[in-house]
Amino acid sequence: MANFRSSYATSESQNREFSASRWDLFAIYLKAEALLLLIEKAKDPPGKHAAAIEGIRLRLLQAYEYERGKAKQNRATVEQWRLLIDPEAAPKARATHP
């Protein structure tokens, strides 16, 4: 039984590390995808790219929920994701934080 607990603890630790590094990559790819859509497709009407826009919005919401649901939250990170998913929040945040 001790070996099981030991291997479980090691496995759990490795999963946290893997998840964190995988999540960092997810955030980097999401940022790149959003910038590409913004820059490359800016001249087109938004409706033409509705599926891509909704896909990015869904992944932003997933990122927000992931950060918000972590046992050890980083409040600044949660707030940053919230600002990205709420178009109305960003202008208010700029007004309150010069």
* Domain annotation covers residue 50: yes
DSSP 27-79: HHHHHHHHHHHHHHTTTS-GGGGHHHHHHHHHHHHHHHHHHHH-SS--HHHHH
Model pTM score: 0.63
pLDDT along the chain (98 residues), means of 10: 44 52 84 87 87 90 88 88 82 61
Provide the number of structural domains found in the chain: 1
pLDDT of residue 6: 44
**pLDDT at site 87:** 73
Q: What is the pLDDT of residue 14?
A: 45
pLDDT in tens, 5-27: 444 444 444 445 446 678 788 88
- Is residue 34 a part of any domain in this protein? yes
Token pair recorded at residue 38 = 């913004």
Report if residue 88 sits inside a domain. yes
Q: Which domain holds residue 71?
A: 26-96
